[in-house]
Amino acid sequence: MERYTAVMTMEPVRSSFASAAPESADIHAAAARIAGLAQVTPVLRSHSLDAIAGCELHFKCENFQRVGAFKFRGAANAVFSLDAETAARGVVTQSSGNHGAAVALACRLRGIPAHVVVPGNAPQIKLAAIRDFGARIHPCEVAQADRDRVCAQVLAETGGHLVHPYNDSRVIAGQATAALELLHAVPGLDALITPVSGGGLLSGTCLAAHAIAPGIACFGAEPAGACDAHDSLVSGQRVVGRRADTLCDGLRAELGPLTFDILRQHLEAILVVEDAATVAAMRLIWERLKIVVEASAAIALAAILAQPHRFAGRRVGVVLSGGNVDLDAVPW
């Protein structure tokens, strides 16, 4: 196992939910809490993809999840775990993507206000989704400092509660339920692989897997143009502040202190993938599995095809993280 050595992190944390990894009981509580809210997504297989990859692939289809991505699991777990008084003041988050829509939907289902801080360069289609679910949008500049400033201002004005997109144990526990379902649906997996961006999905996947079967090897897949997580884990220092350059628009975030800590303890390796290989894998999934996945999801298959020796003959669970694609701009 290529586990990474643990070093101390100096990063400040913003809330108690950002400082402690969820335990097995928290993950099972999350599964119970979001049952009936989130979809139990199907696991698909393909004879021809197995033949191409040289291993047995089990695809957990989170592109079929509500809002079209696994993000709804973590958002729903966080929103529905709030006490009534806190919930009534509303939830605040920052996101230009699926987490914003997921928080907006979870809050609508709970009947509480949602505030989403969105940078000015967010696609109109994502803004529309957040608005359609009834959230109030707070525009900000693209720079992280301005996002943080507006977010703090909204928190102060509303008295609302922050739900971070990934550096939050409740969100991680929610994302972990995808792997939990997959491991129950397909016993005896040898390995799991998910994309990595901020690390919420991947760290939840590691925790769920190792709670059930400590021997499962967990992998992350990361774009070459945004491989801060790979470099962080190799160097033992969390890399921050780089500019991401990848068409995987869901994989441009950086690890948080909490997800970094969890991955250092649990991860086998992060596999770095060129965008061209990701696009080829995306097309292969559309053709063979007959499902619509975004590039940020297809990267997991691309990583397997790029490093087949790691998976040869093994039973591999692949979390296909989302399917929100502009159908007028497919990348081939």
Q: In this complex, which beta carbon is closest to a copy of itself, that of residue 61 or of residue 255?
A: 61
Buried b (16+ CB within 10 A) or exposed e, 172-182: bbbbbbbbbbb
Locate 1 and state its tokens: 């196992």
Query: Minimum CB separation from a copy of itself for residue 124, in Å?
Result: 15
Using CB under 8 A as the binding rule, whether residue 298 contacts a copy of itself is answered as no
Which of the stretches 144-152, 179-187, 198-206, 324-332 binds a copy of itself when contact is defined by CB under 8 A? 324-332
Residues in 42-101 at the binding interface with a copy of itself, rule: CB under 8 A: 42, 44, 47, 61, 63-64, 66, 68
Which of the stretches 110-118, 190-198, 287-295, 303-311 binds a copy of itself when contact is defined by CB under 8 A? 287-295
Q: In this complex, which beta carbon is closest to a copy of itself, that of residue 141 or of residue 287?
A: 287
Rounded distance between C-alpha atoms, residue 231 and residue 239, angstroms: 7
Helices 71-80 and 98-110, axial angle in degrees (round to 10): 40
Q: In this complex, which beta carbon is closest to a copy of itself, that of residue 69 or of residue 226?
A: 69
Q: In this complex, which beta carbon is closest to a copy of itself, that of residue 97 or of residue 323?
A: 323
Beta strands 56-61 and 43-44, pairing class: antiparallel
Q: In this complex, which beta carbon is closest to a copy of itself, that of residue 50 or of residue 148?
A: 50
Query: Minimum CB separation from a copy of itself for residue 321, in Å?
Result: 12
Binding residue count for a copy of itself, defined by CB under 8 A:
21
Which of the stretches 146-154, 176-184, 260-268, 321-329 binds a copy of itself when contact is defined by CB under 8 A? 321-329
Rounded distance between C-alpha atoms, residue 257 and residue 238, angstroms: 8
Burial class (CB in 10 A: 0-12, 13-18, 19+), 257: middle
Using CB under 8 A as the binding rule, whether residue 292 contacts a copy of itself is answered as yes
Residues in 200-219 at the binding interface with a copy of itself, rule: CB under 8 A: none
Contact assessment for residue 266 and residue 203, using Cβ atoms and an 8 Å cutoff: yes
E strand or H helix at 101: helix 98-110
C-alpha 20 chain-centroid distance: 18
Please provide the distance, in angstroms rounded to a whole number, between the alpha carbons at the two ends of the chain. 36
Name, in order, each residue with C-beta under 8 angstroms of 196's C-beta and a sequence gap of 6 or more: 202, 220, 221, 222, 229, 251, 255, 263, 270
Which of the stretches 111-119, 153-161, 251-259, 279-287 binds a copy of itself when contact is defined by CB under 8 A? 279-287
In Å, how far are 50, 97, 102, 270, 318 from 199, measured between CA atoms? Answer: 27, 15, 17, 11, 16
Locate 119 and state its tokens: 């940078």
Using CB under 8 A as the binding rule, whether residue 286 contacts a copy of itself is answered as yes
Q: In this complex, which beta carbon is closest to a copy of itself, that of residue 227 or of residue 284?
A: 284
Rounded distance between C-alpha atoms, residue 203 and residue 124, angstroms: 30
Which of the stretches 6-14, 40-48, 90-98, 171-179 binds a copy of itself when contact is defined by CB under 8 A? 40-48
Among the listed residues 102, 293, 295, 300, the single contact to a copy of itself using CB under 8 A: 293
Using CB under 8 A as the binding rule, whether residue 193 contacts a copy of itself is answered as no
Among the listed residues 27, 178, 221, 289, the single contact to a copy of itself using CB under 8 A: 289
> Which residue ranges make up the site for a copy of itself (CB under 8 A)?
42, 44, 47, 61, 63-64, 66, 68, 283, 286-287, 289-293, 323, 327-328, 330, 332
